[in-house]
């Protein structure tokens, strides 16, 4: 039995349909009709079983051309979402001072500038960088680098200090991105020790104030004490040649 041996009206009649249906209704009608026509079911036979299958295939091919049932809108065709905008990935130092990043946007390679003080989650407008010449908004992501990490507007780093300094306390010097900074430790500080250097985080931008720099101190037995460090500096400067001069 071939599909062209059945008319659409005969096919609908075989499936028990009295009017146009969508794909879901057609499938439900076919399942009921083919179950009733099974040769091993009471009242079923092989010929009717085959005709039901042929009728279903015929109507299935015509489903898109059939009008939707009353009160039911035909589903809209699936439209894939536009691809996400590429990320503008910056280092903490680029977020502090501003920097340019070469990145691929669409089919073009562009040099995109990240302004100082930009935060993760901010969006940089790229004029003409979107589809059909529209502007594109590039999300910013600041990844850890150079011993620095960023959370919001604050910077985080780790600095090693002599174990004796952690035990006895005293003045320490920390090399930050803004230069050398000093701080005082009290004796017998309990680890982890974190120092907060105000205003040394990401710079202010718009309504957001400047962030802070948080320094985690790690005790190290390999580092010289403050006195030993001072002696090393003295010997480097006052070499025998300079003393002789």
pLDDT at 57 over 60: yes
pLDDT at 1 over 50: no
Predicted local distance difference test score (pLDDT) of residue 10: 85
pLDDT at 215 over 80: yes
Cis ω for the linkage preceding 192 (within 30 of 0): yes
Q: Residue ranges per domain, the chain? A: 3-65, 88-142, 153-240
SS3 call for 204: coil
Predicted local distance difference test score (pLDDT) of residue 192: 84
Predicted local distance difference test score (pLDDT) of residue 4: 47
88-142 against 153-240: fold identical: yes
Please state the pTM of the whole predicted model: 0.57
Pairwise CA distance, residues 156 & 214, whole Å: 5
Pairwise CA distance, residues 222 & 162, whole Å: 7
For the segment 166-180, what is each residue's pLDDT rounded down to a tens digit? 888 888 899 999 999
SS3 call for 51: helix
Domain 3-65 CATH assignment equals 1.10.287.110: yes
Predicted local distance difference test score (pLDDT) of residue 67: 53
Predicted local distance difference test score (pLDDT) of residue 225: 57
Predicted local distance difference test score (pLDDT) of residue 3: 44
Long-range pairs for 48-54 at CB < 8 Å and ≥24 separation? 48/14, 50/1, 51/1, 51/6, 51/14, 52/14, 52/15, 54/1, 54/2, 54/3, 54/5, 54/6, 54/11
pLDDT at 69 over 60: no
The runs of H, that is alpha helices, within 113-172 are 163-168
Pairwise CA distance, residues 201 & 171, whole Å: 22
List beta partners, residue 99: 114
The CATH architecture that domain 88-142 belongs to is Sandwich (2.60)
- Give me the mean pLDDT over the 214-241 stretch: 68
For the segment 157-168, what is each residue's pLDDT rounded down to a tens digit? 999 988 888 888
Which of the 8 DSSP states describes residue 217? E
CATH fold group of domain 153-240: HSP40/DNAj peptide-binding domain (2.60.260)
């Amino acid at each position: 039995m071939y599909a062209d041996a059945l008319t659409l009206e005969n096919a609908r009649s075989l499936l028990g349909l009295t009017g146009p249906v969508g794909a879901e209704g057609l499938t439900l009608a076919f399942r009921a009709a083919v179950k009733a026509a099974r040769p091993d079911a009471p009242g079923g036979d092989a010929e009717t079983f085959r005709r039901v299958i042929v009728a279903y295939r015929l109507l299935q091919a015509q489903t898109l051309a059939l009008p939707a049932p009353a009160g039911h809108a035909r589903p809209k065709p699936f439209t894939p979402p536009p691809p996400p905008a590429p990320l503008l990935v910056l280092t903490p130092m680029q977020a502090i001072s501003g920097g340019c990043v070469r990145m691929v946007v669409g089919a073009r390679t562009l040099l995109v500038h990240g302004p100082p003080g930009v935060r993760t989650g901010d969006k940089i407008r790229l004029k003409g960088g979107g589809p059909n010449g529209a502007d594109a908004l590039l999300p910013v992501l600041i990844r850890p680098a150079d011993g620095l990490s960023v959370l919001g507007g604050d910077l985080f780093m780790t600095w090693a200090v002599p174990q004796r300094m952690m035990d006895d306390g005293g003045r320490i010097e920390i090399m930050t991105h803004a230069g050398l900074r000093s701080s005082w430790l009290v004796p017998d500080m309990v680890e982890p020790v974190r120092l907060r250097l105000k205003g040394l985080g990401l710079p202010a931008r718009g309504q957001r104030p400047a962030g802070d720099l948080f320094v985690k101190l790690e005790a190290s037995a390999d580092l010289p004490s403050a006195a030993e460090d001072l002696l090393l500096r003295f010997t480097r400067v006052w070499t025998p040649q300079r003393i002789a001069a």
